[in-house]
Amino acid sequence: MKVLLSGNEAIAHGAHAAGVTIATGYPGTPSTEILETLSRYEEVDASWAPNEKVALEVGIGASLGGARALVTMKHVGLNVAADPLFTLAYTGVNGGIVIISADDPGMHSSQNEQDNRYYAKAAKVPMFEPSDSEEAAFLVDEAFKISENFDIPVIVRTTTRVNHSKSLVDVDIERVVKETGYEKNAKKYVMIPANAKERRRLLESKLDALAEFSEGFSGNRVEWGSRHIGFITSGISYQYVKELYPDASVLKLTMTYPLPRRLISEFIGQVDEAIVVEELDPYLEDQIKAWGLQVTGKQYIPNIGELSPDIIALGLGSKDEEVEPSGEDELPARPPVLCAGCPHRGVFYVLRRLKLIVTGDIGCYTLGVLPPLESMDTCICMGASIGNAMGIQKATGRKDVVAVIGDSTFIHSGITPLIDIVYNQGVSTVIILDNRTTAMTGQQDHPGTGTTLKGAESRELNLEKLVRAIGVESVRVADPYNLKAVKQVIKEEIEKEEPSVIIFRRACLLVEKSNAAPFAVNEKCNGCKVCLKLGCPAISWEDNKAVIEPSQCTGCEVCVQLCKKDAIVKYQ
């Protein structure tokens, strides 16, 4: 039976069919739904790790224990997990390990658009790139076999379009579980230099064998058509090429590390002109050129952003007069905003008033950078806010440097930089915006919520106790809906000659719905616009007066506290 599945659902399905028993990862768009889907299978132990490095390390342990392990993350997550990855290539696996790297060309929801194909080459591990859901399911299953046959971890690299688009997948594949059991083997798994040197040489011979495998792998295939132009492509770009040039010859590469050199060379030799169509960097093109083969690519196809049939047609326009961009109107932009009633809003309002240096981090609260709140000075990567604050404080000598970080992000990578502040005698204030969830990626649980991915009750990480144990003595907890309290506690803490942590705690409204009655604006409104400075999407401006949309207002009362005219009252 074939059913319509997203790429993420298909990957989960493929992993289930492959007999995966342990699956772990850290949320991150566009990868998140893979583990959420897998968690519905009773027979799969699916869990959120505190970060991607821990996820991969658990995956490695599971593999050594004999299980097939799936580890999922978004592209930048692989930066966090890179340390174990590079050495895992040396040790190899026991049960198969497949790592999903979900890349985000176009940065729909990411801070950069790094091309993770280079990770496969740099870490020396095989990589596969599906072009649709059916292939994603097939490749995950296949990747486990390759992982075990070649004793190596495998990366399956997807991109947002593949993760989130739906296509038909055969779901009648039977689940086969194969567990190999644990066997002590220090020479293989303890990477002291003496052992690592041997494994390093072995890895090179595995790559030679994998390159040979790549030549005959069914996913690397030629689809012959006109020999005037031959396209070399992979992933979602393959779909675009087929849509635009159904009659052209195409070499579809599905195993993109190691590449099948002979297959590519023979293909190029049989077409008049070979063009590489690939998203982001000239990963394929550079390698093919390095072999001394004649191809073009990036001279026509942009290396920035997501591709589309239109962009490719435009780029190759001079070559194919018949293909014109469709010229469809762009959809109107809908910039993201903090939700009405978001507990982060009041904190940013106060931070702006106080004119502090605010080092920011990644999560819903990053939207505090946008007007009218405009109260964030930096945002680099998860966990960076705290180290950034320490550095700015050291360089400027200013005490009024505040790091702002979400609860999930603090647990992910905020703990070690806080240790640095304490250890190296910093005095910055760290604000943890504890909304009791990982809101940005769709409200996933984390150690601080006390509930697992499977919905089981677990021990809740106590942030106050944790930061005290690190050595922070000034630890305050306050309600972010109370603007006076927010202002007072921040002012007091930045004055101190010691590190301090403020936890503003209030659940995200998408997790705990509000039952409070909405508010409305009455005739006392004098049009001062102070309530508009909150940037609440429930408040708008009509006929020189503020207006609150009752269906959007959550009754948080933050705007009520700002109105000097008592013009914001319960909706009647």
CB of 510 to ligand TPP, least distance (A): 10
435 binds ligand TPP (CB under 6 A): yes
Helix (H, G, I), strand (E, B) or coil at 519: strand
Cβ count near 192 (within 10 Å): 9
**For 426, how many CA atoms within 13 A lie in the half-sphere containing its CB?**
30
Q: What are phi and psi of 170, to 5 degrees?
A: -75, 115
Which residue in 16, 190, 223 sits closest to 91, CA to CA? Answer: 190
From candidates 132, 407, 445, 493, binder to ligand TPP by CB under 6 A: 407
**220-279 residues near ligand TPP, rule: CB under 6 A:** none
CB of 439 to ligand TPP, least distance (A): 3
Q: What are phi and psi of 298, to 5 degrees?
A: -70, -10
Contact segment (CB under 6 A) with ligand TPP among 64-72, 155-163, 385-393, 433-441 equals 433-441
Which CB sits closer to ligand TPP, 206 or 412? 412
CB of 26 to ligand TPP, least distance (A): 6
- CB-count exposure of residue 461 (10 Å: 0-12, 13-18, 19+): middle
Contact segment (CB under 6 A) with ligand TPP among 142-150, 268-276, 406-414, 524-532 equals 406-414
Per DSSP, the residues of 233-260 read EEHHHHHHHHHH-TTEEEEEESEEES--
Which CB sits closer to ligand TPP, 146 or 347? 347
Q: What are phi and psi of 257, to 5 degrees?
A: -155, 130
Question: Distance between CA 173 and CA 170 in Å, rounded?
Answer: 7
Output the residue with the shortest Cβ distance to ligand TPP.
406
408 binds ligand TPP (CB under 6 A): yes
Instruction: Read off the DSSP letter of residue 438.
Output: B
From candidates 158, 163, 359, 441, binder to ligand TPP by CB under 6 A: 441
Which CB sits closer to ligand TPP, 27 or 447? 27
CB of 451 to ligand TPP, least distance (A): 14
Which CB sits closer to ligand TPP, 88 or 102? 102
With CB under 6 A as the rule, give the number of residues binding ligand TPP. 24
- CB-count exposure of residue 225 (10 Å: 0-12, 13-18, 19+): middle
From candidates 30, 50, 59, 77, binder to ligand TPP by CB under 6 A: 77
Beta strands in 56-96 (DSSP E): 69-74
From candidates 127, 277, 390, 440, binder to ligand TPP by CB under 6 A: 440
From candidates 35, 248, 362, 431, binder to ligand TPP by CB under 6 A: 362
Helix (H, G, I), strand (E, B) or coil at 450: coil
Which residue in 372, 381, 378, 512 sits closest to 437, CA to CA? Answer: 512
Which CB sits closer to ligand TPP, 144 or 365? 365
From candidates 38, 76, 255, 307, binder to ligand TPP by CB under 6 A: 76
Residue 274 amino acid letter: A
Which CB sits closer to ligand TPP, 91 or 408? 408
Contact segment (CB under 6 A) with ligand TPP among 170-178, 242-250, 371-379, 404-412 equals 404-412
From candidates 37, 133, 249, 438, binder to ligand TPP by CB under 6 A: 438
Alpha-carbon distance values, 243 to 138, 229, 310, 417 (Å): 22, 15, 11, 49
Q: Quick one: tokens of 314? A: 């435009």
Cis peptide before 372 (omega within 30 of 0): yes
Contacts with 427 (C-beta within 8 Å, 6 or more apart), sequence order: 393, 399, 496, 497, 498, 499
Which residue in 507, 360, 366 sits closest to 435, CA to CA? Answer: 507
Contact segment (CB under 6 A) with ligand TPP among 35-43, 147-155, 262-270, 360-368 equals 360-368
From candidates 56, 229, 255, 364, binder to ligand TPP by CB under 6 A: 364
CB of 160 to ligand TPP, least distance (A): 13
546 binds ligand TPP (CB under 6 A): no
72 binds ligand TPP (CB under 6 A): no
74 binds ligand TPP (CB under 6 A): yes
CB of 408 to ligand TPP, least distance (A): 3
- CB-count exposure of residue 533 (10 Å: 0-12, 13-18, 19+): middle
Could you tell me if 342 and 515 are in contact, meaning their C-beta atoms sit under 8 angstroms apart?
A: no
Binding mask 13-32 for ligand TPP (x = CB under 6 A): -------------xxx----
Which CB sits closer to ligand TPP, 116 or 287? 116
Binding mask 367-396 for ligand TPP (x = CB under 6 A): ---------------x--------------
- CB-count exposure of residue 490 (10 Å: 0-12, 13-18, 19+): buried
Contact segment (CB under 6 A) with ligand TPP among 94-102, 209-217, 358-366, 465-473 equals 358-366
Binding mask 35-54 for ligand TPP (x = CB under 6 A): -----------------x--
Which CB sits closer to ligand TPP, 30 or 258? 30
Question: Distance between CA 513 and CA 196 in Å, rounded?
Answer: 53
Contact segment (CB under 6 A) with ligand TPP among 11-19, 162-170, 291-299, 432-440 equals 432-440
Q: Quick one: tokens of 470? A: 């690190």
Residues that bind ligand TPP (CB under 6 A): 26-28, 52, 74, 76-77, 80, 362-365, 382, 406-409, 433, 435, 437-441
